[in-house]
Chain A
Amino acid sequence: MKIQIIAFGIAKDIVGKKQMTLDFEGKSVGEVRTCLVNRFPEFEQLASLRFAVNTSYVDDSFELTENDEVVLIPPVSGG
């Protein structure tokens, strides 16, 4: 399935750009995580990596549909 990835903070540095298309096996956010970690092993070094769809956090079991926008949320550090 093809989805759009949008990356912020250190996630943007790791994938090398703000936005990219990801073609991955499966349909869940967990499978996106596996694909990203395989492709960019640096993600494993992070304290956490969360995902958001439509401006809400989603967990690994969340099922995506083609062309969804998935936002990568590395450890937040506002304030």
Chain B
Amino acid sequence: MKNIVITSEPLNSQLCINSVADNGSGGLVVFIGNVRNKTKGKEVKYLDFEAYEAMALKEMQKIAREAIERWHLYDMAIHHRVGRVGIGEAAVVIACSSAHRKESFKACEFAIDTLKKTVPIWKKEVFEDGEVWVSAHP
């Protein structure tokens, strides 16, 4: 599926949007997950993402397929970055299109929520004085 991408290059959100555009679509929703400069008040230097790529692509495809079917989307694209990602840069871009806006809003939220639960990608927050794997501990 060409719309499901994992890359160590900076993400191009316009490319992701263009890949789901359709003349029959009256609503296109895009979610961009960016790297924040702070976590719990502590300054973050950058994030480092690691993926189990073969399985992550498969799980991302599953999400897109389910969303397309459930909300009758024209299309959905999910692009995820790996490696070192700087403050303010996009870690994930999700775009989807449907005849009307409501379906795409719902589908886009479903996609990012599910991605965070099922896709085998991990982020490490790197601070001035150490690093932490996010969500590893309860």
- Binary per-residue interface labels of chain A (6-26) against chain B in the complex, 1 for a CB within 8 Å, 0 otherwise: 001110010000000000000
Contacts of B80 in A (CB 8 A): 78-79
Task: Tell whether, in the assembled complex, residue B55 and residue A77 are in contact, meaning their CB atoms are under 8 Å apart.
Answer: no
Our pick among B122, B135, B138 for the contact of A8 (Cβ within 8 Å) is: B122
Interface residues of A (CB under 8 A from B): 8-10, 13, 45-47, 52, 55-56, 71, 73-79
CB<8 Å pairs between A and B, sample of 14: A9-B50, A46-B137, A55-B58, A71-B55, A76-B118, A76-B121, A77-B116, A77-B123, A78-B56, A78-B80, A78-B115, A78-B119, A79-B33, A79-B112
Q: Smallest CB–CB gap between A34 and chain B, Å?
A: 20
CA distance A55 to B80 in the complex (A): 18
Our pick among A10, A13, A46, A76 for the contact of B120 (Cβ within 8 Å) is: A76
A-B CB contacts (within 8 Å), total count: 77
Contacts of A73 in B (CB 8 A): 52, 120
CA distance A76 to B122 in the complex (A): 5
CA distance A79 to B135 in the complex (A): 12
Dominant SS among interface residues on chain A: loop
Given contacts A47-B135, A47-B136, A47-B138, contact A77 B58 (CB under 8 A): no
Chain B contact residues (Cβ within 8 angstroms of A): what range? 20 to 34
Given contacts A47-B137, A79-B112, contact A56 B123 (CB under 8 A): no
CA distance A23 to B112 in the complex (A): 38
User: Is the CB of B49 closer than 8 A to any CB of chain A?
Assistant: yes
